[in-house]
Chain A
Amino acid sequence: MTVKKTRLVVIGNGMAGIRTIEELLKMSPDEYEITVFGAELQPNYNRILLSPVLSGEMKFQDTILNDWSWYEDNHITLHVGKTVSKIDRFRCRVETEDGLVVPYDRLLIATGSNPIMLPVPGMTLPGVLAYRSIDDVEKMLIAAKTGKRAVVIGGGLLGLEAANGLSLQGMEVSVVHLCDWPMERQLDKVGGGMLKEALEKRGLKFYLARQTEAILGEDKVTGLRFKDGEEIEADLLVMAAGIRPNIQLAKSAGIHCERGIVVNDTMQTFDPKIYSVGECVQHRGQTYGLVAPLFEQAKVAANHLAQYGRMRYEGSSVSTKLKVTGIDLFSAGEFNAGIGDEELLLQDTARGVYKKLVLRDNKLRGAVMYGETMDGPWYFQLMRDGTDVSELREHLLFGQMHLGDSGLGGVSSVAAMPDNAEICGCNGVCKRTIVNAIIDKKLFTLEEVRAHTKASASCGSCTGLVEALLQNTLGGDYSAKSSKKAICACTEAAHQDVPRAIQNLKIKTMAELMQALAWKTPDGCHVCRPALNYYLMTAWPGVYQDDSRSRFINERVHANIQKDGTYSVIPRIWGGMTSPAELRSIAEIAERYQVPTVHITGGQRIGLYGVTKENLPKMWGELVEAGFVSGHAYGKSLRTVKTCVGLDWCRFGTQDSSGLGIKVEKMTWGSWTPHKFKIAVSGCPRNCAEATIKDFGIVCVDSGYEIHIGGNGGIKVRVTDFLCKVETEALVLEYCGAFMQLYREQAHYMERTAPWIERVGLAYVKQHIVEDAAGRADLYARFLESQRYSQDDPWKERAEGKDAHEYAALATIA
């Protein structure tokens, strides 16, 4: 006997409806018998890419997201060219115009939107087209072959893209718009003016602040008359005055609609059997016309259809970009300053650059950019994270040049980069490879680009660039990741959810944690397990048992794996101070184990490379004998405290920098942190220990100690922010411990101090470390408490036999 499956009917074969099915199939492939109705005679295609098809930069074939075979392979019944005319909610079935009746158990309405046609005479004349479907585009392409003059009504995003496309097809194009400047919903007057000028240079003609009275023509369109009486000629007239949610069908079935079909946070309509997603939906009073929110909705709807019943859609903030090659424009949020808001402006007419940022209560509320848009995703992120930007304010307008440019600083627009520019230095991926993958493999998200090209999959410093490429290639509808980003595919939980759950529910084991946060996999993956292990360890020092199976190999065996499978051994050299006796022991041990490479590291230590795993415990035993402990050069932990010789020898030295460095290292060594953590102490402002590119830097001055935080000398060079000045070594230790503890408790796993501080804002750190003395003392105390359990030398333990199975083969078969 076959089990009768639940029947799901989907009305709408567009991006939102089909995305929901894709998400549903991922979670629950066999639950439903699925039927899809599509009014258009096409499989599911990428509507965002209509503009490149119109402009001739792409073929329609390239925009297909799921071809016919996809429906077959997934056993989906597809009816194209059929319009559903009735939803019979009483009998739970839908009926088409030609009499087909299909029953449902669950219904998904994804009818999208309709173009707004102006209520003026002549609207039905041949030659008047909307700009909505591939059908419209094909008609426009035919019209462009015979006709000469085109008029586009509507100077918004869609209208300008249509106008640009028709112009590239050789037509003379005029744009008619009600407002004083184009794209008034995305741009302010200045930005809109610059856009208009650039488009005029490309041959478009603008009729602004004009109202259309009638469309002229007898048997086909010949022109248009404005309210003021002026007439212009046209062989083709494109209506792009906006879209309206297509709610007719839902409304006629008695489903509650306002501007759109009203849904709750689970994408359910007022009829609990009926869900709705996409442009036809009204959620918390908002309707959306961009793809990113639709995809978020699709994910939520699928989650509930699959009976997981966990996710909620909480609305989206959206950003926009115009898909006109060569014009860089970005807009997000509330870009018109209200009462009490502040505006930051940058206008360089000669370079064609305009930026406006709107701030409220030290937070970014909106951004408009023209000419230079590379920082768009960054601003957007700051907006969604609600980051306090008061400390960034001075250079906020100039963008994030020190972050995310992967050594490509100076190139302000990914669009301007040559095709062979290397975007991802770690994996050697160039711009062309990424763009081709986005187009050929139809990628939409950063995660997909990572999986297919490996770009941004290693150190992640080029993430901003890859996001910019996605946005450039996909155009306006790409919106970076949603503000709440799941840790990995095992879960919907974001990093911030985990410590909260641990604290609120007093969870002390990984199994409980996975259960509480509804993990989808039995034991997580290589991404989430180390994170959970870290959060639990930080929350319950001395109580939680570290799970070595959830440690990356380097932390599990306390040595750094090398490309050939051997390991490096780097003993701790306190404050970079050593002695002939220590050096002699290292030399003898290196010789005894025939270490192929001995290297002085950047952290003032000695690295022994090429040690086989079997030899590690023995070698550590000898190092321990000689007085060394692990240098933790392999861990997301305190690495080194780099110092200069300071007052003892240097004629410029102001304090005992090496002595202080040793004290700091003795206090902090062995601590686990969200990512690696480096410290340096310089004896004077000449800063020979390079303290201003460390996570925590101390610069001695005559009157005390300057404390600097959040530096990074690695992938993305970032100079520290000055935190404060203190007068005694004891205070340096207290601030250092408190800062590390704040970072340990508040940062996401795998987040260095630099991006963490950029995310939460320097003001936040100052408030907790500098201004709140009692809070600082508490943090410091918690740090010292957790250190009680982390300063047993892991090398000594293993030399004495701990985890012996990690270092020995199970068997050898001759």
Chain B
Amino acid sequence: MNWIQVGALEDIPRQGSRVVNTASGEIALFRSIDDQVFALNNRCPHKGGPLSQGIVHGRRVTCPLHSWVIDLETGSALAPDVGCAHRHEVRIAHGALFLEIKDHAI
């Protein structure tokens, strides 16, 4: 099990995002208005924009560079745009955030 504690739910503002730096790149953690947390690669499938800087609305985030809208649950761009920001598993346990890191030694 490669679950790593990366912080607490309270560290991410509601409708906001924070970044976790990893050896294989940045992972953005998003917190929706109803306190769900999602994790995606911090790269828009369009032109690599930092998704963590976008506006979070519902279960979606809008890329700050060219306004692609990405589904937080799947990482897929909303039609008619096509593309996917890889998603990662994330869990909340008693307010602590755990991120699953794949292909990556601890």
Contacts and interface: CB of A to CB of B under 8 A. Distances in A.
Interface in B1-39: 4, 6-7, 11-16, 18-23, 26, 29, 33-34
Given A522-B33, A549-B14, A565-B49, A810 B57 contact: no
Contact of A814 (B19, B23, B56): B23
Nearest to A563: B65
Contacts of A548: 13
Contact of A811 (B6, B15, B55, B65): B6
A526 B6 contact: no
Contacts of B55: 525-526, 529-530, 549-550, 552-553
A810 B13 contact: no
Contact of B101 (A550, A565, A813): A813
A805 B64 CA distance: 18
A812 interface: yes
Contacts of B49: 565
A458 B66 CA distance: 8
Interface string B53-92: 1111110101011110100000000001000000000000
A565 B64 CA distance: 9
A139 interface: no
Contacts of A521: 57-58
Interface residues of B, number: 39
Contacts of A600: none
A439 to B, nearest CB: 16
A809 interface: yes
A142 B101 CA distance: 68
A812 B19 CA distance: 9
A561 interface: yes
A553 B64 contact: yes
Nearest to A458: B66
Contacts of B18: 805, 809-810
Given A805-B11, A810-B11, A451 B67 contact: no
B58 A810 contact: no
A497 interface: no
A136 interface: no
A452 interface: yes
B68 to A, nearest CB: 10
B47 interface: yes
Contacts of A785: none
A561 B16 CA distance: 17
A168 interface: no
Given A525-B58, A529-B57, A810-B7, A561 B80 contact: no
A529 B47 CA distance: 24
A524 to B, nearest CB: 6
A727 interface: no
Contacts of A812: 20-22
Interface string A504-540: 0000000000000000011111100110000000000
Contacts of A452: 80
Contact of A549 (B6, B15, B19, B26): B15
Contacts of B22: 812-813
B12 to A, nearest CB: 7
Looking at A550, A553, A561, which has the most chain B CB atoms within 10 Å of its CB?
A: A553
A530 B57 CA distance: 12
A457 interface: yes
B101 A810 contact: no
Interface of A: 451-452, 457-458, 521-526, 529-530, 548-550, 552-553, 557, 561, 563, 565, 805, 809-814
By Cβ-Cβ distance, the 8 closest A-B pairs, closest first, are: A526-B62, A810-B18, A549-B15, A526-B55, A811-B6, A812-B21, A553-B53, A553-B64
12 contacts: A452-B80, A521-B58, A522-B34, A525-B60, A549-B13, A549-B14, A553-B53, A805-B12, A810-B7, A811-B6, A813-B4, A813-B6
Given A526-B57, A805-B16, A810-B12, 10 more contacts: A525-B55, A548-B13, A549-B13, A549-B15, A549-B56, A552-B55, A561-B50, A561-B64, A812-B22, A813-B101
